[in-house]
Amino acid sequence: MSKEGGLDPDGLAALRARFEQQSRKAQAYYTVMHAVRGVLGSDDAASAWMEAPLAAMGGSTPARLVDEGRTDQVLAHVRTLKP
């Protein structure tokens, strides 16, 4: 922060970068939620699936994989699910 109480350019750039990263993660999470909701039929079922450890994903949860940037892997798995 600058002496005037505002953000200095470096601080503002850091905040912008953090916001963009969080925005990308949120968009990826929404993309997976939308895809799995189409298979499972409801938001509640999709939310539960996102938080459930899956053997097909090495015991990790889909939400964790999305957070790690492995959205394509999760979406590939969703495409194997049957409604």
Distances (CA, A) of 4 to 7, 15, 66: 9, 18, 39
pLDDT, residue 3, reads 52
Could you report the per-residue pLDDT of 38-77, keeping only the tens digit for each? 999 999 999 999 999 999 999 999 999 999 999 999 999 9
* Domain range list for the chain: 25-78
CA–CA separation, 81 and 16 (whole Å): 37
Encode burial over 33-55: b for 16+ CB neighbours within 10 A, e otherwise. Answer: bebbbeebeeeeebeebbeeeee
Segment among 10-19, 25-34, 45-54, 60-69 with least mean pLDDT: 10-19
- Which single residue is written with the structure tokens 């200095």? 8
User: What is the average pLDDT value for the chain, to the nearest integer?
Assistant: 92
pLDDT, residue 4, reads 60
pLDDT, residue 28, reads 96
